[in-house]
Every structure is written in C-alpha cells, then in structure tokens.
Amino acid sequence: MMLNFIDKIGDANPQLLRELKGRLKFFHVAIAVATSLLLQLVVFLYQFREFPGDKYSLTGTYCRLQSAYEQRQTQAYQQSDQSKIAELNNFISKNFCPENQIDWQLWWRDHWEYIFLSLSVIFVFTLLVAGTYLLINDLAKEERRGTLNFIRLSPQSETSILTGKLLGVPSLIYLVVLAALPLHFWAGHSANIAFSYILSYYAIVAGNCIFFYSAALLFGLVSRKFSGFQPWLGSGGVLFFLFMTLILASSPGMNLNNSATWLRLFNPWDVTNYLFPNLFRIYHGSPLKNLQFFYLPIGTNVVSIVGFHLFNYGVCTYGIFKALKRCFCNPQATVISKGQSYIVVAFCQLMMWGLTLQNSKTVFNLDDQIERNFALMALYNLGLLFSLIAILSPHRQTVQDWARYRHQEVSSHKSIWQDLISSEKSPALVAIAIHLTIVSIPWLVWISLTSVLDTDHSPNLASDNVDRLKLLLTLVLSISMMLIYATIAQLILLLKTPKRSFWAIGTIGAVMFLPPMILEFIGMSSEKNPTIWLFSTFPWAAIQYSEATTIFIAFIAQLSVLALLNFQLTKQVRLAGESATKALLAGR
C-alpha cells in the first residue's frame, strides 16, 4: 500500500519523490519524531513548576480564597493600620490554601492554554527559520554540484519542480510539526479555544510558510554570489524579522492606523494575538480589531481579518512564484518583466493607500490622514522605484543587441514605443515613467479632493499658504527628478567600464543624499533657502516656503536637464546599435 502511494507521488511529481526519497530515511525520521516527542514532553512538564502543592499561597491565582484575603489587605492599607497589616501578612505567610479551595479546573485550563500557545510560537519559528534554511541550502548544494542545470533540462514543468522543492526539502520539519499537532489540537480544545480559531491559526501558518518558502527559493536563485553564506543570511533575516515583529506585536498600545501596517501583515504574531489574546497578555485587546482598509472595518470579525491576511499572502506569493519561474528557467533574466512591474507598483499603491485611509476619529479628515502617512509612503515609493530602476535597467550588451537586431525580430511590426514599454532589452526610462504615473494617480486624486485646510501637523501639506497648483507642481517636480536619476543610471550602465552596477548605485546614492546632507550641514535649511531645496530629492520640504512661480521655474530647469540627458542617452543607444563595420568606416 505504501509502495503504491509512493508510486502515485512519483507519477504526480517526480521532483517531490526525489526529495522525499533522499530525506525520509529511517534514522532521519526516527530523530525527527523523537525530537518532536521530547519537545512536547518539555513543554508539558515546564508548566508544572507552578503546580498548586500543599504550600500554595492563600493569595495565589488559583485559590478561591484569594479575593477575600486581598480585600482584607486592601482595607488594612486604606486604614493605615500597621498592626493589622503585619498580622494579616503573618497569617498569610504561615497558612496555605486548603486543597478543596484550589480551582483545579481553572489551573488545568490555563495549563492546556500554556501548552497550546507555547507550541503555536514554536511551530512558527521551527517552520519558517529551519524551513528557509533547508530550502536555500538545498539550492546552494544543487548549484555547487551542477545538478540544478540537469533539473532545468528535465521534462517536468517549472511549477512541478518548484512545488516538489517546497514540499519535499522541509519534509523532516513538517514531520516534527505533524507529530506535535495532536497534542496542540487537544490542548486548544481543553483550553476551550474555538475550533474555528484553531483552524484559522493553521491557515495563517500555512500561508506564512508558502510565502516565506517561495521567497527563500527566489533568494537562493538570485544570490548565488554569496556562495555558502546564503542559507545563514536568508534564515537569519527571517529570524530577525520574526523577533522584531514579535516585540512589536507584544508592545501594548501599538497604532496600526498607518501604511507601515502592510509590512506587519507578513508576520504571524499580530493575527495570532488577535485569535488568542492571552498570547502576549495584552488585556485591552489586539490592535487589529480596529484595522480598516479604505475605511472598511476588516478587523471586526475573524473571517475578514484572516481572509485579508490570506489574500495578502496569496497575491504576494503568486508574484514571487512568477519571478521564481523566470529566474529558474533563465538565471540571467531579470527578476520581473516590465509588464509584471506595472502590476507590482499598482498593487503596492493599493495596499499602502488602503491602510493609510483608516478613520481613527469620529471626524473624517482626509488631509490629516495623508499628512501623517506622507513620510512613510514617500519612503516606500522611493525604495520601490529605485529597486525597479536597478532591476529593469539593462546593461550595455543587452541594449546593444536590442538596438542592433530589433528590426530582425518576428515582432518587428511593433512600434518603438511598444518596445520601450514591454521589451526587457530596451532602456527602462519609459517603464519608469509609467511607474511614476501609477504612483502619481492617487496623489492627483488627493490634490483634487483636498480641502486645503490648516492643521496642526508639520510638514503641513494642506495649509492655507499651499494651494493645489503648488502641490501639483511639486508632484511634477518629484517625477522629473526621478526620471533624471533613472536616465543617469541607464547612461552609466551603457559605459564600457567594469562594475557598472556599482558605479550606478554609488552615483545615484551620492546625487540623491549628498546635496540635502550638505545643505543641512552648512545651515541652509528648506525654510531659509527653499529655492535650492527645490532641486534636491526632497522638493516637498520647501513647497510651503516657495512661490508657485519659483517652483515652475525649477520644473523648467529640471525638464531641460532631463531633455539633455535623454538626448545623450538616445545618442549612446544609437551608437551602441551600429554594426562593427559601420562604426569602423565612420572612424569610431
């Protein structure tokens, strides 16, 4: 029967069968099961250190007389009767709670809840940290042995191979968790935790695993330069993320009414705390209960909050899997295509704006919400756009092939603009312009809706001295500056010098951050010298101190610089596309 089952697995997914055969050896399975059983025993017995014995205190949590004695102590302290306080404390220290007054039912309920919550935390760390390490380490080994290329040449589909890796490589980790699931489920049932909540927790953990495992495989494929350090770097990053988000989730009073909440949706702690409030002993309830998305109260019930998390995991995992298939088939390909990058930018804007527009007050104030989240959204978008510039900008040889042989392609009937929008070998400037357009659309909607009211926040983007025209000009100013950066990066990547990527990153970083740092260092703040700041990476810092005419002149100047840079870029691409014979005859 087992042989038939294994044969069926081999027929359905040969890669999964290969991984399982290499790992599910008797000795390995025995070690995994023994480790799981030992861990369960330790967790079960550890709570017995608080077992109510013969000398259990009268003021202990599980003594039914606790409230009466605590009430007497409170009255004695209120009356400031020192003799009575001393007599009562002496009595409590010498007498213990009778066994028939111990609430054993409550103790066992808390004991099972402790086991359930402890195993819940252990499951997350074990699955995510150990699983990511094994997956990245397996890819690194396959790469070193040269077997990864043989797998690529196999008749299996990319989806079948990658799914086999995801299911097979961490199989021993799955076995450790599966051996502990009966105790975990029984502990939750004994602690009177709802069955639907337990299933919701399992769904969240499964979504987390699929997301992080897919990201681990992608990291293993794109980080070959790190060699043997890959597994430690990847699993260490996951461990750091889990620890940091664990601290944030256990901190009382955390506000989730901002766009940074999207990053917290990738950790399992907030939703686990929502399902089991005693996890971090935050008695005022999980902050997820007040979570909104475009003012929709998704935190009001379990179905919506768990569904929202699973939706986020599902969409992001789908995107990672598409990138994973591209990198697996062609290690030299970019992580994502230009067409996919437009969807990524649009989805990021949807999530950031949806979590920005949360109404935490009784009065609706759109300007106030956007001003509070302006710095976060600007930071996110800067990171996103510069990442896409680095990913999508092709190097010299790629652009040379595109410029020289574009007319020979089967799809040569496409216009040059269609090529610039969708072709992976063409310069990325038009694609970056489309990204900036997608990012700008929500801001244009806000500018058209803003009430231009004065508020008490700084920087005040919607104060009386800042009108819609200045906001619009500043947005256009930011777009032109980003296009200048993208053009500079593409020009550097067209050079013949070695390490062009290093020079591009260094140059863009210097152009972006050095001028504002120097201006601040010499005391030329945006308030005192707003005109200079209009030409920096952060022009919005000076808009409330500048006239609309000055902003428009700065835009014209930036537009002139952008035109000159693009003229040079067009010239370089044309020269790169010339044949060797033509260049020789022209004396180049």
Report the percent of the chain where pLDDT is more than 70. 83
pLDDT class of 472 with cuts at 50, 70, 90? confident
- For residues 172 and 89, membership in a common domain is answered with no
- For residues 429 and 302, membership in a common domain is answered with no
Q: How high is the pLDDT of residue 585?
A: 46
Question: Looking at the domain assignment, is residue 349 inside a domain?
Answer: no
Of residues 1 and 354, more confidently modeled: 354
Question: Looking at the domain assignment, is residue 297 inside a domain?
Answer: yes
220, 230 Cβ separation under 8 angstroms: yes
pLDDT class of 308 with cuts at 50, 70, 90? very high
- For residues 541 and 406, membership in a common domain is answered with yes
- For residues 39 and 185, membership in a common domain is answered with yes
pLDDT class of 68 with cuts at 50, 70, 90? low
- For residues 262 and 383, membership in a common domain is answered with no
Report the percent of the chain where pLDDT is more than 90. 27
Q: How far apart are CA 457 and CA 195, in angstroms?
A: 46
Of 497, 280, 491, 538, residue with least CA distance to 394 = 491
446, 525 Cβ separation under 8 angstroms: no
Q: What share of the chain is helix, strand, coil (3-state, %, to 5)?
A: 75, 0, 25
- For residues 90 and 155, membership in a common domain is answered with no
Kindly report each contact of residues 310-319 with a partner whose C-beta sits within 8 Å and lies 24 or more positions away, as own/partner.
Answer: 310/203, 310/204, 310/207, 312/262, 312/265, 312/266, 312/351, 313/207, 313/208, 313/210, 313/211, 313/266, 314/207, 315/347, 316/211, 316/266, 317/207, 317/210, 317/211, 317/214, 319/343, 319/344, 319/347
| Token output for 189 | 């049932």
Question: Looking at the domain assignment, is residue 145 inside a domain?
Answer: yes
CA distances from 21 to 9, 149, 163, 164, 210 (A): 11, 20, 16, 12, 22
Range of the domain at 476: 363-585
Q: How high is the pLDDT of residue 90?
A: 66
Q: 286 — phi, psi (to 5°)?
A: -75, 140
52, 102 Cβ separation under 8 angstroms: yes
What's the distance, CA 373 to chain centroid? 18
One-character DSSP codes across 488-544: HHHHHHTSSSS-HHHHHHHHHHHHHHHHHHHHHHTT--TTT-HHHHTTSS-GGGGGG
Q: How high is the pLDDT of residue 499?
A: 82
Question: Looking at the domain assignment, is residue 345 inside a domain?
Answer: no
Of 131, 150, 170, residue with least CA distance to 22 = 170
Last residue of a domain, one of 39, 69, 101: 101
- For residues 494 and 383, membership in a common domain is answered with yes
pLDDT class of 181 with cuts at 50, 70, 90? very high
Q: How high is the pLDDT of residue 498?
A: 82
Q: Per-residue pLDDT averaged across 89-108, rounded? A: 72
Q: How high is the pLDDT of residue 85?
A: 63
DSSP state of 293: B
Q: How high is the pLDDT of residue 37?
A: 94
Question: Looking at the domain assignment, is residue 409 inside a domain?
Answer: yes
- For residues 436 and 472, membership in a common domain is answered with yes
pLDDT class of 31 with cuts at 50, 70, 90? very high
pLDDT tens digit sequence for 205-263: 999 999 999 999 999 888 777 667 888 898 999 999 999 988 888 877 667 778 888 88
- For residues 97 and 243, membership in a common domain is answered with no
pLDDT tens digit sequence for 421-450: 888 888 889 999 999 999 999 988 888 876
Of residues 508 and 86, more confidently modeled: 508
- Return all residues near 92 (Cβ < 8 A) that are at least 6 apart: 57, 58, 59, 69
Q: Is the pLDDT of residue 555 over 50?
A: yes
Q: Per-residue pLDDT averaged across 134-155, rounded? A: 85
Q: 404 — phi, psi (to 5°)?
A: -85, -35
Q: How high is the pLDDT of residue 212?
A: 95
pLDDT class of 58 with cuts at 50, 70, 90? low
Question: Looking at the domain assignment, is residue 351 inside a domain?
Answer: no
Q: Is the pLDDT of residue 134 over 90?
A: yes
Question: Looking at the domain assignment, is residue 246 inside a domain?
Answer: yes
- For residues 59 and 110, membership in a common domain is answered with no
- For residues 291 and 378, membership in a common domain is answered with no
pLDDT class of 362 with cuts at 50, 70, 90? very low
Last residue of a domain, one of 267, 291, 319: 319
127, 216 Cβ separation under 8 angstroms: no
Alpha helices in 169-292 (DSSP H): 171-190, 195-222, 230-250, 261-264, 269-275
Question: Looking at the domain assignment, is residue 331 inside a domain?
Answer: no
- For residues 61 and 91, membership in a common domain is answered with yes
Per the DSSP assignment, residues forming a β-bridge with 57 are 96
Q: Is the pLDDT of residue 473 over 60?
A: yes
pLDDT class of 465 with cuts at 50, 70, 90? very low
* Coil, strand or helix at 546: coil
Q: Per-residue pLDDT averaged across 492-521, rounded? A: 83
Predicted TM-score of the model (pTM): 0.86
Average pLDDT, the chain: 81
Q: How high is the pLDDT of residue 222?
A: 86
DSSP state of 340: H
97: left (phi over 0), alpha (psi -120 to 50) or beta: beta
DSSP state of 54: T
Q: Is the pLDDT of residue 581 over 80?
A: no
Count of the separate structural domains present in the chain:
3
